[in-house]
Amino acid sequence: MNPFQRHRQALASRLPDGLIVLAGGSRVLRNGDVPFPFRQKSDFLYLTGVEEPDCVVLIDPRRKAQTLFIPKVDSQHRVWLGPVPGPAQARSRYGFPRALHCDRLAAEILRAKRGCRALYADRDTLAKLGKLKGLGLRGLPGRPAALRDALDELRAVKSPGEIALMETASRVSGGAFRAAMRAVRPGMAEYEVQAVFESACLKQGLRHLAFSSIVAAGRNAAVLHYHHNDATIRGGDLVLLDAGAERLGYPADITRTFPANGRFTRRQRDIYSIVLETQKAMIDRARPGVVSADLHAKSMTMIAEGLKSLGLLKGGTAGLVENGAVRLFYPHGLAHMLGLDVHDSAGGRKRKLPNPAKVPVRFVAKLEPGFAITVEPGIYFIEALLRDPALRRKHRGSVDFARADGFLDFGGVRIEDDIVIRPDGPPRNLTDVPKEIDEVEAACGRG
Ligand SMILES: [Mn+2]
């Protein structure tokens, strides 16, 4: 049984009284008649593993039936885009007991809906069904929220099959990181490092990235979601690479920060060591029952201690976390759920839990075995925060702003690994890319 068959069974047992219908994604035009590269909807991938557009899945829990509907394409489609698998091919390729063309969808739903309590479909699917000729859905209420909750609940805990797909994404992305680190030289453009990373992923057969690659040299690393990737890398720069490929929608999301010329300066080492020690300590603490927001609070404490040791922060550590001074240097969350949406959902678990650390982060959940999360602390010198007059007034007792001004050309450091929570002991780390200082220096090209 492939993982997607298991996912369909699990969803069917959560929603036993209705009919589950989900339409996959369609191509979206980018400009004129040119489409964006097609990326399947995450929920549809979760239930089918099918990367073709315009498909529909129908799950009938009471009859234990699962049907994949595939588009019937005309000869023009075959001329321009090639054939799509027919029903027999689709059945064996995707592991479905039944596959039909999409023109049979209305009749199949009419047949299966007798005695059903609800139609579990998302809004997009309900809108599509509303346009189908001859399909009366009166008496069968649509329940998009119930479907959303069930899918979030299931998708939060990763199955062994899903973890295997993320392992592939991590292995390939890890090799691509090593290639990028080997290639980096002062004088290169950021996009040349991007080209090395992305071509290494492509060469290994992963043709889709999980998100747009960030290659940020020097000060650009202080822009959290930097996207220009067009500056020239200079000799003393640190280069921050945050990137990852995906396999059937399952991502890697890795960050490394490395010296362009292969050697950290003293100052870079100091900042890097604080981030690295924090990251390793937080990975070790990521165990079942731990609340993610508490981990984040703990990571802020460690970063605050480190910045105090460098004279950038002053005063009691608890106060620096509480009054937000540490967030001038570390303004994002420690972790997020990792899955088909990269920043994946923790589902209804989030609503059930107060945020005991009172940290303004989106990801608040008690860690469970099978959760895949990132661990990604950072330290940045962000001009927009450090030169903000109101923030300078507010934090003048906590931050040595004169000293911080001397770091405005530094940029930032982030280190990010992908881990899976285990029932006991420390988590499994899917990321295999050098991160110790001597390993990073050995992995980098020498300018
Ligand atoms: Mn991330």
User: Is-catalytic flag, 336?
Assistant: yes
- The structure tokens listed for 92 are 């064996």
Give the separation between CA 240 and CA 416, rounded to whole angstroms.
11
Q: Which of 380, 417, 418, 441 is catalytic?
A: 380
In which band, very low, low, confident or very high, does the pLDDT at 348 lie, cut at 50, 70 and 90?
low
Q: Do both 147 and 271 map to the same domain?
A: no
Q: Do both 39 and 187 map to the same domain?
A: no
pLDDT of 10: 96
Give the residue from 413, 99, 376, 425 showing the smallest Cα distance to 265. 413
In which band, very low, low, confident or very high, does the pLDDT at 236 lie, cut at 50, 70 and 90?
very high
Tell me the average pLDDT across 413-439.
Answer: 97
User: Is-catalytic flag, 242?
Assistant: yes
Query: Strand 238-243 relative to strand 214-217: parallel, antiparallel, unpaired?
Result: antiparallel
Name residue, tokens 């129908």: 58
User: Is-catalytic flag, 330?
Assistant: no
The number of folded domains in the chain is 2
pLDDT at position 312 over 50: yes
Three-state secondary-structure class, residue 35: strand
Q: Do both 94 and 170 map to the same domain?
A: no
Question: Domain end: 101, 127, 156, which one?
Answer: 156
Q: Which of 43, 122, 416, 417 is catalytic?
A: 416
Q: Do both 328 and 391 map to the same domain?
A: yes
Q: Do both 152 and 190 map to the same domain?
A: no
Mean pLDDT of the chain: 94
User: Is-catalytic flag, 343?
Assistant: yes
Q: How many residues does the chain have?
A: 447
Give the separation between CA 257 and CA 177, rounded to whole angstroms.
11
pLDDT of 139: 78
Q: Do both 53 and 168 map to the same domain?
A: no
In which band, very low, low, confident or very high, does the pLDDT at 346 lie, cut at 50, 70 and 90?
confident
pLDDT at position 447 over 50: no
Give the separation between CA 411 and CA 237, rounded to whole angstroms.
9
Q: Do both 15 and 149 map to the same domain?
A: yes
Q: Do both 105 and 220 map to the same domain?
A: no
Task: Give the range of the structural domain holding residue 389, as residue numbers without chain letter.
Answer: 160-443
Instruction: Calculate how far, in angstroms, residue 163's C-alpha sits from the geometric centre of ligand 1.
Output: 17
* DSSP 8-state assignment for residue 218: G
- Cα separations in angstroms, 209 against 37, 214, 430: 11, 12, 17
pLDDT of 146: 95
More confident position, 346 or 398: 398
φ, ψ of residue 337 in degrees (nearest 5):
-65, 145
Q: What is the tens place of the pLDDT at every residue in 361-419? A: 677 789 999 999 999 999 999 999 999 999 999 999 999 999 999 999 999 999 999 99
Question: Domain end: 132, 156, 180, which one?
Answer: 156
- Cα separations in angstroms, 284 against 87, 167, 278, 365, 429: 48, 19, 10, 17, 10
Instruction: Calculate how far, in angstroms, residue 12's C-alpha sits from the geometric centre of ligand 1.
Output: 31
User: Is-catalytic flag, 253?
Assistant: yes
Residue 77 belongs to domain with CATH number: 3.40.350.10
User: Is-catalytic flag, 294?
Assistant: no
Instruction: Calculate how far, in angstroms, residue 41's C-alpha sits from the geometric centre of ligand 1.
Output: 20
Secondary structure element (H or E) that encloses residue 417, with its range: strand 417-420
Burial 357-393 (b: 16+ CB within 10 A, else e): bebebebbbbbeebbbbbbbbbbbbbeebbeeeebee
Q: Do both 146 and 102 map to the same domain?
A: yes
Residue 375 belongs to domain with CATH number: 3.90.230.10
Instruction: Calculate how far, in angstroms, residue 255's C-alpha sits from the geometric centre of ligand 1.
Output: 8
Rounded to 10 deg, the angle between the 190-203 and 160-183 helix axes is 140
Q: Do both 206 and 352 map to the same domain?
A: yes
Q: Do both 176 and 138 map to the same domain?
A: no
Name residue, tokens 């339409």: 23
Give the residue from 319, 151, 180, 161 showing the smallest Cα distance to 245. 180
pLDDT of 349: 64
Give the residue from 130, 378, 405, 420 showing the smallest Cα distance to 252. 420
Instruction: Calculate how far, in angstroms, residue 44's C-alpha sits from the geometric centre of ligand 1.
Output: 23
User: Is-catalytic flag, 416?
Assistant: yes
Q: What is the tens place of the pLDDT at every residue in 184-226? A: 999 999 999 999 999 999 999 999 999 999 999 999 999 999 9
Per DSSP, the residues of 249-303 read: TEE--EEEEEETTS---HHHHHHHHHHHHHHHHHHHH--TT-BHHHHHHHHHHHH
pLDDT at position 289 over 70: yes
Instruction: Calculate how far, in angstroms, residue 376's C-alpha sits from the geometric centre of ligand 1.
Output: 7
Give the residue from 258, 260, 265, 261 showing the smallest Cα distance to 242. 258
User: Do residues 425 and 236 touch, judged by C-beta distance below 8 A?
Assistant: no
Per DSSP, the residues of 313-351 read: B-S-HHHHHHTTGGGGT--S-S--B-STTSSB--GGGTT
Give the residue from 67, 74, 58 showing the smallest Cα distance to 91. 67
Give the separation between CA 331 and CA 296, rounded to whole angstroms.
11
pLDDT of 352: 61
Q: Do both 148 and 174 map to the same domain?
A: no
Kindly state the percentage of the chain with pLDDT values over 70. Answer: 96
Kindly state the percentage of the chain with pLDDT values over 90. Answer: 88
Question: Domain end: 156, 190, 205, which one?
Answer: 156
Tell me the average pLDDT across 430-442.
Answer: 97
φ, ψ of residue 442 in degrees (nearest 5):
-70, -30
User: Is-catalytic flag, 27?
Assistant: no
User: Is-catalytic flag, 33?
Assistant: yes
Give the residue from 27, 20, 112 showing the smallest Cα distance to 73. 27
pTM of the model: 0.95
